[in-house]
Amino acid sequence: MGFLQYMLGNLLPDKQEETSAESEVIVREAIVPTKTFETDFAAWLEAGMHKGLLDYLKECFVTRKADPSAAVNLYFHESKNSNGFYFRAENPWNTQDYRFLVHLFAKKLIALNYVQNHATREVIEEGGVLKIKEEYFLKPTLKLRKQIPYEQLFGNIFIEHRIKGDETELVKVMVNTYTDQYYNKPYYFEDFLTELCLP
């Protein structure tokens, strides 16, 4: 073993321990809505609490589309096989409002022949601050995979909700599609936004 390898062998483990001390995974679990959550979500919908948040996002969409350089709290991702958007939290909405919004998006997609492939929550302590990442992955139901080319609907849907402390930082929604001969052409991304009650 050379001198450099010997030194790296002694140095790297300490560095890894230092990194793990700075960022530690505390919880990694499946997200399963409780009865209380579902009850509170239903009350949130019944009171029309979702409307103000959706209207705000619609306004951001319209402004961003009209002027891509506008100073607005919504950003698009566009590439050959992926389309999506993300936005940061704004007052007066809180983390529970954003959790309910993500849950609403998932329920709307399930009503469109999607199934929730998985939903996970990871809690990390980093520099004394708790960071939570909630991820949802939805795919078209297997009932649509009876023959080639397969129906992919809008594509596979990935939703991410990031929380720092007890405040939402970011919500991201991505649609990933296939372009090979095994799949039908995906539905338009604009129609996906309409299904989420967005322009």
Domain ranges of the chain: 26-195
Write out pLDDT tens, residues 48-60: 999 999 999 999 9
Tokens for 85?
């958007």
State pTM to two decimals: 0.85
The amino acid present at 52, given as its one-letter code, is G
| Mean pLDDT value across the chain | 89
CA 30-167-17 angle, 5° bins: 65
Where residue 199 falls among pLDDT bands split at 50, 70, 90? low
pLDDT of residue 102: 97
- Whether the Cβ atoms of residue 87 and residue 75 lie closer than 8 Å to each other: yes
Write out pLDDT tens, residues 116-132: 999 999 999 998 899 99
The whole-angstrom separation of Cα 82 and Cα 85 is: 10
The whole-angstrom separation of Cα 89 and Cα 95 is: 8
